[in-house]
Chains A and B, each alone.
Chain A
Amino acid sequence: MSSPSPASAAAAGKTVLVLGATSAIANAFARQRAAAGGRLVLVGRQQGRLDGIAADLTARGAAAVATLATDLADMDEAEPRFADMVARLGPPDEVLLAYGVLGEQAAAQDSADETRRLIDVNFTSAALWLQLAAKHLVADGRPRTLVVIGSVAGDRGRQSNYVYGAAKAGLDAFAEGLAHRLHRTNVRVVTVKPGFVDTPMTAHLDRSGPLWAKPEAIAGAIDRAVSKGQRIVYAPWFWRPVMTAVRFAPRPLFYKTKL
């Protein structure tokens, strides 16, 4: 855990902006960066929780930790808020976009508000923050990375969670386009697609099967993807073949499943 990988060793002294710092994956990733002596800026909704995470990262070796309590889904004044952040803390070397809500498909089916909430949090606000981050990060030409947590759920719409899946699919396409646009700059866009991850977000599900991964494993995959400059990573890796099969399953067959 604390023995830094070669990649995170290179991250010593780098500044990482974590959007959604209380998420389990973000927390695990921030710990890796802290152990390597990174500087962290934690953004999340609850100041008390951010303080707890900041203390932990400091004890684990972070060179500096700053916190900012704000609701990322609330886009009013996003532009000045981001500009202010950059002005105060400097442009981050890495941005990890890690917040999101799983919601409940059944509730969304019955409620336009819930459908809108899932799309707004998981897609609209995320896309806008990425847009802002890109604008600030290309300016000085230095190498920087934008990491977006997507989901295998975005690879094909499925009856059991197509609202969340569609938002993540939108984010996926957005990140792809952004990567294309930034191709000639020094800014890289990495999309990480986790499968089932053992986090508070999934605490209500049965997590005993072999497909479940720990947040630490996803954090390790992010670290490797950043250091290797990969554009899209499935985490753990076996989701790539699994999702290829799901994507290309013929419709008559696919519709018979309960997926």
Chain B
Amino acid sequence: MRTISKKLNKEEIEAFGKEVDSLREEVMAKVGKEDADHIRFIYKTYRYTEVLGRGLIHFSFEPISFIAGTLLLSISKIINNMELGHNVLHGQYDWMNDPRFNSRTFEWDIVCNAHQWKFYHNYMHHTYTNVLNKDHDYGYNFTRLTEAQKWKPVHLTQPFTNMFLAMNFQWGIGAHGYRVEYLETPKKLRKKKTLKDYKALFFKKIELQLLKDYILFPALAGLNFPKVILGNMLANLIRNLWTYAVIFCGHFTENAESFTTDEIVGETKAQWYLRQLKGSSNLDGNNLFYTMTGHLSHQIEHHMFPDMPAKRYREVAPRLKEICAKYGQHYNTGSFVKQFASVWKRIIAYSFPDHIATKVMGKRKKYLEPTVVLNQPSFQVSLSTEEKAVTLT
């Protein structure tokens, strides 16, 4: 694929990797109480918004409180999935030794089973980011996003299938999970039974979610049950649309690159960093927006440091950007609207055969010239002396 970043030689790549590594070390050394407090605050917000949301839906007799309740429930589900679930399942808070925030014990409010998700996301997607045929998240098996994927007439429908996926995103995520696990089982070991076993976990989770949202809570409302069903449906829909939008902006924007399996043989850590950078794209916004995306607004930082407590990406980003500029590497970022529009441009463009697709996508910018940057720390975080004094044994 064409790249708009400067081609680096071996030494440059390794030097780049070293700088990224030391950035990581520096920030990880600061992880502590501040991060624990943050995730507890998020947990609290998730619990309160859910109770308030469900309460309002339940006791609403006019549309305003019903809408408020539905929105609160959507927010709760978004927080549960993004800033809490996604990050906890990455093991970002395992060090706290708190079962509520431990990747081994956490389960989230979505039809996707957490264990399956950890396999295809933490392992497959984060290791083989944007590698065609290996990263199953790349286009989710039906979206064509690059010339490297062969065009078939069925791709003409992808704008519609994507709209459908957006509305039912959690189901896509869930069904994706067991299939990836199946596909990644060595062919010899793939039997009907394994598929069924993998599927069973998904189905179990479906049952739970359906029971909770569409039977248990509606039943509590007695004859008012249709209202509760509607509220839950809308909340799930809003959460689905939001997560779809955020997640698709992560890797499928115009300038996000894809790779082939040949390119990654014998890849070093530094090369891996570089691939994460080129394959991901960020979203600009304010702190509230960052939190609501689970800091996937900082997709690049997240892909380089998936196990770093997500809020830290905010302080990492400007420094990483400096490093990228120094090495002439394109740092893909933009407003949500701009990035999301470019995702859709790409989805539509590649639904057509190559000659049309390339025309729509247009010419790419030239290589970026490396800029000289002063090595000044762009941020400073101070810990209280007490915290510094405590070393973990």
Q: Do A and B come from one complex?
A: no
